[in-house]
Chain A
Amino acid sequence: MSNIAITDSGPSTAAKPLLTRLGAGFVSRLVIIVPYLWLLFFFFIPFIIVFKISLSQSAIAMPPYTPVLDFTDGISGFFAGFRDLNFDNYVWLTQDALYFKAYVTSVIIAAVSTILTLLVGFPIAYGMARAPATIRPTLLMLVILPFWTSFLIRVYAWIGILKPEGLLNQLLLSLHVINQPLIILNTYTAIFIGIVYSYLPFMVLPLYSSLEKMDYSLIEAAKDLGCPPTAAFWKITFPLSLPGVIAGCLLVFIPAVGEFVIPDLLGGSQTLMIGKTLWNEFFANRDWPVSSAVAVILLLLLIVPIMLFQQAQARAQEQDK
C-alpha cells in the first residue's frame, strides 16, 4: 500500500532522493498536526476551561468570576489553588429544583421528539428509497435544500403559523373545524413541532441511505412464502434499516437536548429547557460559573450518546471502504 505523502510507502519511493522523502514526511506530519492542534486548542481545551470556571465563584468584575487554578503565581500558586476550589455551583444546581426539572424536561422532550421525527421521517425515507431511480437524486436534493436555509428562519416561520391569530388557526376556523383559536404557540406542543420540523432532514438522510442499499427481492421472497406485509416490515425492512435509525436518532436527540432557539422562540417563557436555562444564566444573570456548571452537567449527560454517535460514524466509514 502506498500512501500519498507518506515516507515509507513502498518500493517506488525508496529510490527517491533523501531530501524528497524528508519533505514528504514533513508534509504528512503537517497534514495531521495543523487540524489536530486547531481542534485541540479551540475545541478540547475550552472544555477544560469550562470545568475550571464551574469551580470558581461569581464576582462583580470582568471577567465575572474569581480566578482559580491560575498560573500567574507560578506552579506553586497553581497547586495552592486547589484549596480554593469551590463546588458551591454544583451544590446549588442540586438544591434548586428548577435545574433538575430543566434537565429532566429537556431529555424527555428530546426523546419524544426523536421518536416523533422517526415516525414522520421513516415513511418519507422509505418512499424516497422506493422511488424510480431517475427521480431519486432530485428527491434527495429536495431533502437537503431546507438544511441550507437558515435554521433561525425556519423556526421563525412557524411563529406566523402557530400564533392564536396565525395561519393555522385562520384555516381551521374558516373550515369550521374549531370554534375558537387553538393555543399552540408558547406551549410544549410548539416545541415538538419545531424540533420535528427542523431536524427532519437529519433523520431522513441516514434512513434513506440505509434503505436505498436494501435488497427488495428479500421482501418479494417473504411475500411469496406467505409472510404478511407487517411481519415482513418488522422482520426484514426495519432490522436492515437499523444503522440508519440509530444514526438518525442520535443526530436528532443529542442537539435537541441542548436546543436553545426552538424553545426560546416557540416555547415562550412558560416552558423549561436546559439550553434556555444556560443562556439565561449567562446573558440575563451574568453568572458565568453557574452557567459553566450547567454546561458540564449537560455534557456529562450527553457523553454516552455522543460516543455512540462516534462509533456509528466510524462503523459507517469502515463499511464504505
Chain B
Amino acid sequence: MNPTWSRFNVTSVVLGFAFLYLPIVLLVVFSFNESKLVTVWGGFSTKWYVSLFHNQGLMDATWVTARVGVISATVATVLGTLAALTLTRYTRFRGRILFSGMVFAPLVMPEVITGLSLLLLFVAVGLDRGFFTVTLAHITLTMCFVAVVVQSRLVSFDRSLEEAAMDLGATPVKTFFQITLPVIMPAIVSGWMLAFTLSLDDLVIASFTSGPGATTLPMKIYSQVRLGVTPEINAACTILIAVVAVGVIIASVANKRREVQRQLDEQAAQRG
C-alpha cells in the first residue's frame, strides 16, 4: 500500500466514482421496474424490454443509427489517422496552423454551431437532408477525435523502427503498412470505437442535418423524453449502455492479451 494515499484521497476517489456511476446504476435498475412510474419501485419485470422490441419506430431508429455509426466511424478512422499523421509528421507546410485549428476546434465547438453550419452547407450545395447528410456530418465531427487519439500514440512512436525498415530497402508505403500501422493499431481501434459511440450518442448535430426517414435513436429518445420519462426509455438506454460496455470490455481484454503476447515474444527473442 502506498503510504501517501491518505484517507482524504481514498474518500474523494470513492465519492467521485459514486457520483459518476450512481445515476447510471439507478437508470438501469429502474428499467426493470414493474410499475409505469419510473421512480417508484413496483417489483421486478422485463416487460419494458418486450414492449421495446414491439416499438417499430424505435427499432427503425436503432437500425438507422447503427448504419450511420458503422459507416461514419470507418470513414472517420481513415481520415482521422491521415490527419494525425499530418499533424505529427509534417511540421512545415502551407496552412498548417489552419489545419491544426480545424482538427482541434470541433472538439470543443458547441454542437449547435456545428450542426447549423453543416445544415446550411448541405442546403447551399443542394444535398437532400437524410441518411447521407447525417453520415457526412458525423464523419466530420468524429474524425477529429480519432486524429487526437491516434496522434497521442504517434508522438510516442519510436521512429528508428521505420528508419531501419527503409534502410533495409522497404518503400515508405510498405514501411507504413508493415511497421507503423501495426504499432498504432490499438489507437486506431479505440479511435474507431470512440467515433462509433460519439455517432451513436449525437442528438444535436443529427437533429440539424437529418431529414425525413432518417430519425436516429437519440432523436427518437429525445422526442419521447420530452413527452415524459417512461421505463421503456430506461430499457432502451440500458441496452445502449450494455452494448457500449461490452464493446469496451472486449476491446480492453483484446488489447491486454496482445500486450501480454508481445511481452512473451520479446522475452523469447531475448533468450534467442
Q: Which residues of A contact B (CB under 8 A)?
A: 2-6, 12-13, 16, 20, 23-24, 27-28, 31-32, 34-36, 38-47, 49-50, 53, 63, 120-121, 123-124, 126-128, 130-133, 139, 141-143, 145-146, 148-154, 156-161, 163, 165-167, 170, 197, 200-201, 204, 216, 250-251, 254-255, 257-261, 265, 275, 278-279, 282-283, 288, 291-292, 295, 298-299, 302, 305-306, 309-310, 313-314, 317, 320-321
B13 touches A139 (CB 8 A): yes
A156 and B95 CA atoms in complex are apart in Å by 42
A157 touches B110 (CB 8 A): no
A260 touches B204 (CB 8 A): yes
A26 and B163 CA atoms in complex are apart in Å by 20
A295 touches B112 (CB 8 A): yes
A258 touches B155 (CB 8 A): no
Please list 26 pairs of residues, one from A and one from B, whose beta carbons are closer than 8 Å in the complex, sorted by A's number: A12-B163, A24-B171, A24-B173, A31-B90, A32-B86, A34-B79, A42-B118, A53-B120, A127-B9, A146-B20, A149-B240, A149-B241, A150-B241, A150-B244, A152-B201, A153-B240, A157-B26, A158-B23, A160-B38, A255-B110, A260-B111, A295-B113, A295-B116, A317-B155, A320-B155, A321-B155
Is B74 engaged at the interface, CB distance under 8 Å to the other chain? Answer: no
A310 touches B143 (CB 8 A): no
B120 touches A46 (CB 8 A): yes
Which among B140, B237, B244, B248 is the interface contact of A39 at CB below 8 angstroms? Answer: B140
A42 touches B99 (CB 8 A): no
Interface size class of B (residues with CB under 8 A): 35 or more
**A34 to chain B: closest residue by CB:** B82
Q: Which residues of B contact A (CB under 8 A)?
A: 1-2, 4-6, 8-13, 16-17, 19-21, 23-24, 26-27, 30, 38-39, 79-80, 82-83, 85-87, 89-90, 93, 95, 98-114, 116-118, 120-121, 123-124, 136-137, 139-140, 143, 147, 151-152, 155-156, 162-163, 166-167, 171-173, 175-176, 180, 193-194, 197, 200-201, 203-204, 207-208, 218, 221-222, 225, 229, 233, 237, 240-241, 244-245, 248, 252
B residues less than 8 Å from A204 (CB atoms): 16
B residues less than 8 Å from A310 (CB atoms): 100-101, 104-105
| Contacts A130-B6, A152-B218, A156-B27 supplied; 18 other A-B pairs, CB < 8 Å | A4-B175, A16-B171, A20-B171, A28-B172, A39-B99, A42-B118, A42-B136, A126-B9, A148-B244, A157-B26, A197-B19, A200-B16, A251-B107, A254-B109, A255-B111, A288-B120, A305-B108, A310-B104
A153 touches B108 (CB 8 A): no
**A278 to chain B: closest residue by CB:** B112
**A200 to chain B: closest residue by CB:** B20
Tell whether A142 pairs with B155 under 8 Å between CB atoms, given A32-B86, A291-B116, A295-B113.
Answer: no
A258 and B205 CA atoms in complex are apart in Å by 13
A141 and B245 CA atoms in complex are apart in Å by 12
B85 touches A31 (CB 8 A): yes
A165 and B37 CA atoms in complex are apart in Å by 10
A residues less than 8 Å from B155 (CB atoms): 317, 320-321
B residues less than 8 Å from A200 (CB atoms): 16, 19-20
Which among A5, A23, A42, A309 is the interface contact of B176 at CB below 8 angstroms? Answer: A5
Q: How far is the CB of B68 from chain A (nearest CB, A)?
A: 14
Tell whether A254 pairs with B110 under 8 Å between CB atoms, given A31-B86, A152-B222, A153-B240.
Answer: yes
A131 touches B102 (CB 8 A): no
A residues less than 8 Å from B5 (CB atoms): 127, 130-132
- List the 10 shortest-distance A-B pairs measured between CB atoms, nearest first: A258-B110, A46-B117, A124-B16, A123-B12, A127-B9, A127-B13, A35-B83, A157-B23, A5-B172, A254-B108
